[in-house]
């Protein structure tokens, strides 16, 4: 499915904004879009995934949409072009923790959108769900993702050695976290402040060394 043929913003509610992007709740009908992105060899390598059929991808999206412990979003530009997938998964409200995941579409990396999308997801977690700790993992050689996490305030806690098998060899995973007090200390507008000001296109604080899949 072509991005231009995808559901327009007139039919999709933008729930959250930060910097250059907005977040809209993922729908089962977005499965074809995700399938195309996940088939990109760069994304497949960065995320350590293997090709799946459209049917399998749709079944996976259906299960994810029914999972009460995760929230999936499409990342949209101000002109409503879908450019990525952001996830707040494994939510544990009792312990106040969750994991973040991010995938950007080919052609939209290296423009600061990864930091903006991650900032939006972080603000949702800490500003609405009252979580205390967010974690993320990525290959230790995934330089763009490491840069995005650092720009959004995440701190590397350590390395899970040989924790991922991908393309015939084992990879180390860098383990990152962001705690509520660290988020509170960040000197940037919060998602609700950007939205209230109507500045969805404001790129303040969202320039990044690179964007990638986390």
* DSSP single-letter state for residue 185: T
Look at residue 11 and tell me if it is in a domain: yes
Q: Which two tokens stand for residue 186?
A: 């960040």
**The pLDDT value given to residue 78:** 86
d(CA 79, CA 197): 17
d(CA 32, CA 50): 16
Confidence of residue 195 (pLDDT cuts 50, 70, 90): low
Look at residue 211 and tell me if it is in a domain: no
**The pLDDT value given to residue 201:** 39
Confidence of residue 214 (pLDDT cuts 50, 70, 90): confident
pLDDT for 202 beyond 70? no
Look at residue 177 and tell me if it is in a domain: yes
Look at residue 203 and tell me if it is in a domain: no
pTM: predicted TM-score of the whole model, two decimal places: 0.81
Q: Which residues pair with 172 in a beta bridge?
A: none
d(CA 159, CA 211): 21
14 or 92, greater pLDDT: 92
209 or 66, greater pLDDT: 66
Give the DSSP letter string of 54-74. Answer: HHHHHHHHHHHHT-TT-EEEE
Question: Could you report how far apart the first and last alpha carbons of the chain are, in Å?
Answer: 23
d(CA 195, CA 131): 21
Domain that holds residue 77: 3-196
Residue 153: strand, helix, or coil: coil
Per cent of the chain over pLDDT 90 is 46
Look at residue 176 and tell me if it is in a domain: yes
CATH of the domain at 182: 3.40.630.30
Contact 194, 125 (CB under 8 A): no
Contact 113, 211 (CB under 8 A): yes
Confidence of residue 53 (pLDDT cuts 50, 70, 90): confident
Split into its structural domains, the chain has a count of 1
Confidence of residue 193 (pLDDT cuts 50, 70, 90): confident
**The pLDDT value given to residue 207:** 35
Look at residue 210 and tell me if it is in a domain: no
Look at residue 207 and tell me if it is in a domain: no
Residue 113: strand, helix, or coil: helix
Look at residue 213 and tell me if it is in a domain: no
Query: What's the angle, vertex CA 98, arms to CA 115 and CA 102, rounded to 5?
Result: 30
Question: What's the pLDDT tens digit per position in 67-95?
Answer: 889 999 999 998 889 999 999 999 999 99
Question: What's the pLDDT tens digit per position in 143-172?
Answer: 889 999 999 999 999 999 998 887 778 889
Contact 182, 154 (CB under 8 A): no
**The pLDDT value given to residue 11:** 60
């Amino acid at each position: 499915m072509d991005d231009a043929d995808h559901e327009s913003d007139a039919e999709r509610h933008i729930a959250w904004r930060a910097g250059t992007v907005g977040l809209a709740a993922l729908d089962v009908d977005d499965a074809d879009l995700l399938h195309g992105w996940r088939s990109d060899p760069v994304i497949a390598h960065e995320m350590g995934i293997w090709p799946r059929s459209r049917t399998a991808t749709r079944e996976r999206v259906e299960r994810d949409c029914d999972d009460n412990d995760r929230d999936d979003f499409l990342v949209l530009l101000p002109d409503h072009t879908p450019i990525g997938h952001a996830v707040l998964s494994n939510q544990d409200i009792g312990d106040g923790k969750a994991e973040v995941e991010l995938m950007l579409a080919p052609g939209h990396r290296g423009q600061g959108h990864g930091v903006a999308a991650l900032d939006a997801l972080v603000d949702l977690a800490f500003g609405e769900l009252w979580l205390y700790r967010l974690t993320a993992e990525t290959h230790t050689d995934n330089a763009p993702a490491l840069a995005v996490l650092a720009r959004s305030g995440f701190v590397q806690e350590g390395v899970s050695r040989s924790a991922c098998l991908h393309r015939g060899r084992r990879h180390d995973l860098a383990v990152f976290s962001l705690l509520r007090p660290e988020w509170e200390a960040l000197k940037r507008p919060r998602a609700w402040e950007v939205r209230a000001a109507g500045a969805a296109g404001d790129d303040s604080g969202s320039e990044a060394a690179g964007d990638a899949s986390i």
